[in-house]
Structure 1
């Protein structure tokens, strides 16, 4: 068997930590438990991550990346702005159902950080990563379509990320697929309402019906 690179070993450790967090919650993740889950020594975990917080930060970053993948894939530069925005809404929905446990972990990070002072910096870092990911998608849409927004983009990213969290929490509790799809498309329309074209005109696209 070939020896793992440090990047591969870190990925293995993060996967093991994710498995524990999904079963028992983020606060149940320990270096010893992760080592046992991964079938490796404590020394190997410490070699790859300075401490537990570094491991948790890596987990948070992994969760944020996975959540944004379907939306990034929907940003087709050959399509018009309205189509891209609503394709991104579809991407949010398509990424939600198979990643239910990952989204639960996102909210676990937030609640664990609010309860546990030691985890608060990790939860804050994860939140900032989520905002950065959201801003990256908004910036990519802006670049593809050649537009800007009537609102400061970093602040808009916070608002959009907050809407997404609220929609997804509602789905996790209610399991109302139709309302969730409509909500994602309403969010796309909200973003479109803030679009400013190079000539200074606001976007006049009307709301779309969720399919």
Structure 2
């Protein structure tokens, strides 16, 4: 039978970034299963199959871990959707395609969305985590703006408002839609809301001059 020490030994030679990723995913599993409050450094390391000291070797604080967890939601990969954006299609159709692709990443793991919502709430209450919600918001805005710029390039369009303003509007709607969906879990209602918003936002999109 394999001992705990033997089971952990292959991870001793992992680079720091690989260990950080393993600990981040372990923290998410603990939080999804037992709640954010149960994610002590010992519980996270045990879940990852690492000695307790590994946590402070990879993260300077829990704040840094929480930032890494929030980044997993910010860094959504939309690469598969860009080939589906058709420059000849109405802007509302292309926006609907983009919104639905992002939304599928939300509904794919509702427990992860719940954890991330709980983390943001915790950060608003804990002094040591002050500044983290603002950092999260800025990061979301930057990534959303990048996706909107990419969308404009792929669809051959431009916006009637600045990209930053458009990103704020999109982020506000998705944040609200996610919170409501976590409450009622009505997939059809959530998708219908986003489809309607795609039509509204298309009013601020025009062919590139």
Structure 2 length normalisation: TM-score? 0.83
State the partner residue of 1:11.
Answer: 21
Out of 163, 181, 201, the position equivalent to 1:153 is 163
Q: Which runs of 5+ in 1 are unaligned?
A: 200-211
For 1:1-211, what aligned pairs fall within 5 Å after superposition?
1=10, 3-65=13-75, 68-69=76-77, 71-76=78-83, 79-80=86-87, 82=91, 83-199=93-209
d(CA) in 1 for partners of 2:98 and 2:84? Answer: 12
Alpha-carbon distance, 1:96 to partner: 2.6
Q: CA RMSD in A?
A: 2.1
Q: Higher mean Cα deviation, 36-45 or 158-167?
A: 36-45
d(CA) in 2 for partners of 1:24 and 1:125? Answer: 26
Alpha-carbon distance, 1:88 to partner: 1.2
Q: Which runs of 5+ in 2 are unaligned?
A: 1-9
* 1:113 and 1:120 in contact (8 A); partners too: yes
Alpha-carbon distance, 1:170 to partner: 1.5
SS at 2:108 equivalent: helix
Alpha-carbon distance, 1:99 to partner: 1.6
**Per chain length, whose mean CA-contact separation is higher, i.e. which structure has more relative contact order (CA < 8 Å, sep 6+)?**
2
d(CA) in 2 for partners of 1:28 and 1:119? Answer: 17
Structure 1 consecutive aligned stretches of length 4 or more whose deviation exceeds 4 Å: none
SS at 1:76 equivalent: helix
d(CA) in 1 for partners of 2:23 and 2:198? Answer: 36
